[in-house]
């Protein structure tokens, strides 16, 4: 039975903002705007806690964005697990990659009207410690059960007096005679189809968005691969409080990260949007032999249980929000490969920038709002380009399907092993705290040239002509992998 308070939203008024979707991004948009004095209606199909395997690891850049929004305590009291960096395995070798020092990143920006009464700081619970997150030397991420985190975000939103929550299915984005968006039609249990008016409608309905094509009919994602996931229980992870990336020349990437004291998530890449017909056999033949020894007992138990989950890996470059009265944000606007766990970081940083750009505007002045949304599109590129391009480039390398890519894969791991800036800069990009696309370009091609150097070293003097030819092919491959996505992100 639906709570009556979730179905009685007033449709006789014009809201400043209508937010479609209460995933990770929707509640943050609604809360930020409400704290800026806007009257907000947020619509969600089902306010019950969801059970999903996406959005379970948040990079430090995402945690910092929650601090800017005054919503970071959403990671508290849900058995969320601290993340202090990554461990990368490659053909049996490994290298630890800790997150950046706070001194190298700078202070978190506190948004006016949103940050108050200490809501920009975590509180102590069983696993999250103030001394680590607030006073520690290094940045920290966090991993959690997605539904529990989402419930906390929604609870924060529900406390805002300027927010009205509505449970219903949005079936249409309403437009006027000049094709400007003026609200949404919602199918509500017990009330039927009801029109709600709003000066600005935010589409935050996630990966499988029904309304992203309202921005442009061609605004649709491409799906090139998948992840097959399982829950491991009471697993002995090789590096506690680290995300694990297991790579090798004979298998696809495998991700492992702990999401609670008892549960660890494993995601196994499959290089097709269509999953294998017999997932269990595929896991036995193509994943199990490459699982680190300490993980094998929990992995084998999960394999016998056979409770597999899957998710498509989509790519969607952002488009300008150039439809009056409409704003797409989050995965409805922009997606990247989930290998690097950057989705929530991009979305939450988008919310921070959005609130800064339009939070103090009068939304009834639709022309001014539209101008600011166009500026917002270009200002977000500095960080979203880094995270998006990095995810695609690393997946291309780590899921290598030809010799040149496999050489780059090996070169990338050897580059990490050098330490110093060869780790410091890549983890800055990965963690979402180094939004410098040109520096990313420099580092990526430094990896390519280091790979070429390794080839010359391997071939020796007598093999110089072969190494030269191999080096040219490696460089061409690097250009083909990296530059189209960098170009697409910059001009998209």
Decide: helix, strand or coil at residue 335. Answer: strand
The predicted structure's pLDDT at residue 5: 87
The per-residue pLDDT for 489 is 87
| Side-chain half-sphere exposure of 488, counting CA atoms within 13 A | 16
Q: Are residues 375 and 440 in the same domain?
A: no
Residue 163 pLDDT > 70, yes or no? yes
Confidence (pLDDT) at 145: 97
β-strand pairing of 163-167 with 40-44: parallel
The first and second tokens of residue 186, run together, are 């919602």
pLDDT in tens, 75-100: 999 999 999 999 999 998 999 999 99
pLDDT over threshold 90, residue 63: yes
Is the model's pLDDT at 492 over the cut of 70?
A: no
Q: Do residues 87 and 207 both lie within one domain?
A: yes
Band of residue 2 on the pLDDT scale cut at 50, 70, 90: low
381-398 vs 464-491: helix crossing angle, rounded to 10: 140
pTM, entire model? 0.96
Could you tell me if 107 and 26 lie in one domain? yes
Pairing assessment for the beta strands 309-315 and 242-248 based on DSSP bridges: unpaired
pLDDT category of residue 463 using cuts at 50, 70 and 90? confident
Q: Output the domain CATH number for residue 234.
A: 3.30.70
- Do residue 63 and residue 81 come from a single domain? yes
Question: Range of 447's domain?
Answer: 384-491
491 pLDDT tier (thresholds 50, 70, 90): confident
Does 301 lie in the same domain as 163? no
Which among 383, 412, 434 is the end of a domain?
383
Report the candidate in 403, 408, 419 with the shortest Cα–Cα distance to residue 454.
Answer: 408
Q: Are residues 121 and 187 in the same domain?
A: yes
**SS3 for 201?**
strand
Give the mean pLDDT of the chain: 96
Q: What is the largest CA-CA distance in the chain?
A: 82
Mean pLDDT of the region 157-167: 98
Supply 325's token pair.
């009265």
Whole-angstrom Cα distance, residue 102 to residue 219? 37
Average pLDDT over residues 339-352: 96
Q: How many domains does the chain have?
A: 3
Give the end of a domain, one of 336, 354, 383: 383
Whether residue 405 is found in the same domain as residue 256: no
DSSP secondary structure letter of residue 140:
-
At residue 1, does pLDDT exceed 60?
no
Q: Are residues 342 and 406 in the same domain?
A: no
Question: For the chain, how far is it from start to end, CA to CA, in angstroms?
Answer: 44
Question: Do 12 and 160 have their domain in common?
Answer: yes
* CA angle, residues 233, 96, 265, in degrees to nearest 5: 20
Alpha helices in 184-319 (DSSP H): 279-286, 296-305
| CATH assignment at residue 142 | 3.50.50.60
Over residues 280-297, the mean pLDDT reads: 97
Q: What percent of the chain has pLDDT over 70?
A: 99
- SS3 readout for 373-420: HHHHHHHCHHHHHHHHHHHHHHHHHHCCCCHHHHHHHHHHHHHHHCCC
Residue 421 and residue 451 in one domain: yes
Same domain, 95 and 240: no
User: Can you give the length of the chain in residues?
Assistant: 492
Q: Are 220 and 37 in contact (CB under 8 A)?
A: no
Residues 17 and 46 in one domain: yes
Q: Which of 297, 315, 333 is the last residue of a domain?
A: 315
């Amino acid at each position: 039975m639906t709570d009556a308070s979730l179905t009685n939203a007033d449709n006789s008024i014009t809201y400043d903002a209508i937010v479609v979707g209460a995933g990770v991004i929707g509640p943050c948009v609604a809360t930020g705007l409400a704290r800026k004095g806007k009257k907000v209606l947020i619509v969600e199909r089902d306010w019950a806690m969801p059970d999903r395997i996406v959005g379970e690891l948040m990079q430090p850049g995402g945690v910092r964005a929650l601090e800017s929004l005054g919503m970071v305590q959403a990671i508290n009291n849900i058995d969320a697990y601290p993340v202090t960096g990554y461990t990368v395995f490659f053909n049996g070798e490994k290298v630890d990659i800790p997150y950046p020092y706070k001194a190298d990143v700078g202070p978190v920006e506190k948004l006016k009207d949103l940050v108050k009464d200490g809501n920009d700081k975590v509180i102590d619970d069983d696993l999250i410690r103030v001394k680590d997150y607030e006073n520690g030397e290094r940045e920290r991420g966090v991993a959690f059960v997605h539904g529990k985190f989402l419930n906390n975000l929604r609870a924060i939103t529900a406390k805002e007096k300027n927010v009205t929550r509505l449970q219903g299915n949005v079936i249409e984005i309403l437009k006027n005679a000049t094709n400007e968006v003026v609200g949404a039609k919602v199918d509500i249990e017990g009330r039927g189809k009801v029109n709600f008016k709003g000066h600005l409608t935010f589409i935050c309905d996630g990966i499988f968005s029904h309304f992203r094509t309202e921005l442009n009919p061609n605004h649709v994602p491409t799906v090139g691969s998948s992840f097959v996931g399982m829950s491991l229980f009471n697993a002995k992870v090789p590096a506690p409080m680290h995300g694990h990336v297991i790579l090798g020349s004979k298998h696809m990437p495998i991700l492992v990260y702990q999401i609670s004291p008892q549960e660890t998530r494993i995601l196994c890449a499959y290089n097709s949007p269509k999953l294998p017909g017999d997932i269990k056999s595929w896991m036995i033949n193509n994943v199990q032999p490459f699982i680190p020894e300490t993980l094998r007992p929990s992995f084998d138990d999960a394999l016998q249980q056979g409770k597999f989950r899957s998710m498509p890996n989509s790519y969607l470059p952002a488009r300008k929000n150039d439809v009056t009265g409409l704003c797409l944000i989050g995965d409805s606007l922009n997606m990247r490969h989930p290998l690097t766990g950057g989705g929530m970081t991009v979305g939450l940083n988008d919310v921070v920038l959005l609130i800064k750009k339009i939070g103090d505007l009068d939304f009834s002045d639709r022309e001014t709002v539209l101008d600011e949304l166009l500026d917002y599109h270009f200002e977000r590129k500095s960080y979203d380009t880094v995270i998006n391009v990095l995810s695609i480039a690393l997946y291309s390398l780590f899921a290598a399907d030809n010799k040149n890519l496999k050489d780059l894969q090996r070169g990338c791991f050897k580059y990490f092993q050098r330490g110093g800036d060869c780790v410091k800069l890549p983890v800055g990009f990965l963690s979402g705290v180094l939004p410098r696309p040109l520096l990313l370009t420099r580092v990526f091609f430094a990896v390519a040239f280091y790979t070429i150097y390794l080839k010359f070293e391997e071939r020796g003097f007598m093999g110089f002509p072969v190494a030269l030819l191999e080096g040219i092919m490696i460089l061409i491959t690097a250009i083909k992998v990296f530059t189209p996505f960098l170009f697409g992100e910059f001009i998209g």
